[in-house]
Structure 1
């Protein structure tokens, strides 16, 4: 009998009215990441990302720990982040562990569509036991994360236009 929670996946795709270079600069900076998360969350900047953008970091770099603050003030989780892969200007893959999530992979891909940019987020995660063993917990976590990533895409569309 397997007592480990199952992996979950979330995919969100949207198009924004800005060139890929402009979108890349925003989505790979700490300021841009927090602009996407607001007002629900704020992430403290991990040591390895301070003063840098994702595109400036070598693949395989452990960025350190970032804390997620509910409504910008209430600590609710933390993430130990590693930038696993990067195709500067187009794609990155982050792999992390969190207090609530045993395995987390977030891949963001940008695709140029003329003067517009398609933003593709693929998130795979495995809830950490024992919370993941509570009936309904994995579904609630998945629903909350799906809401958050749809929110992030809405924020990008507000920033750049849709």
Structure 2
């Protein structure tokens, strides 16, 4: 299965990183302005560490520019807590979607690491779409580094 790992070391204490980055509005802020995930209101206001694990939670429409539906994602968490989450979901395009976001305290801040592995329902599509998913996560990390100084750099 195709996959990738991206990380950023932010000058943000781990507890603060958890409270800021593990919330639905933060996810959509990272994805914006290109993409947005919909979710029921009951979930949108809850931090991810408070979400139940091991069962389907809801369906999320992935929207391009906030209006054009690209995919229907069946959202499920396998683990969650202050140190991150492990999502094991599927969608109309993806037979398997695995996303781990890990937050780890490091000297001067927090290491934010995203590990993504996926398998498309149509195998040929996987090799075509893999660069798009990598670009989306590179965009997310660029936004994080823009909003929060990196360890060893002045605040933005």
Cα distance in 2 between the residues matched to 1:80 and 1:105: 12
Asked if 1:15 is matched to 2:38, the reply is no
Asked if 1:126 is matched to 2:115, the reply is no
Secondary structure, counterpart of 1:80 in structure 2: strand
The partner residue of 1:111 within 104, 119, 125 is 104
Deviation at 1:138, TM superposition (A): 2.1
Structure 2 unaligned residues grouped into runs of 5+: 151-156
Cα distance in 2 between the residues matched to 1:23 and 1:36: 14
CA contact (8 A) 1:110 1:119 kept: yes
Asked if 1:39 is matched to 2:27, the reply is no
Where do 4+ consecutive residues of structure 1 move more than 4 Å?
none
| Worse-superposed segment, 114-123 or 33-42 | 114-123
CA contact (8 A) 1:80 1:98 kept: yes
Which residue does 1:62 correspond to in 2? 56
Q: TM-score, normalised by structure 1?
A: 0.86
CA contact (8 A) 1:26 1:33 kept: no
**Across the two proteins, how many residue pairs are aligned to each other?**
150
CA contact (8 A) 2:14 2:110 kept: yes
Cα distance in 1 between the residues matched to 2:64 and 2:32: 9
Structure 1 unaligned residues grouped into runs of 5+: 1-6
Instruction: Report the RMSD for the aligned CA atoms in angstroms.
Output: 1.4
CA contact (8 A) 1:85 1:92 kept: yes
Q: TM-score, normalised by structure 2?
A: 0.89
Deviation at 1:24, TM superposition (A): 1.3
Deviation at 1:13, TM superposition (A): 1.1
Cα distance in 2 between the residues matched to 1:39 and 1:154: 13
Which residue does 1:101 correspond to in 2? 94
User: What does the per-residue CA deviation read over 1:79-131, in whole Å, with 9 as the maximum and x for residues that have no partner?
Assistant: 10111112x211210011111111001001111113311011111100112xx
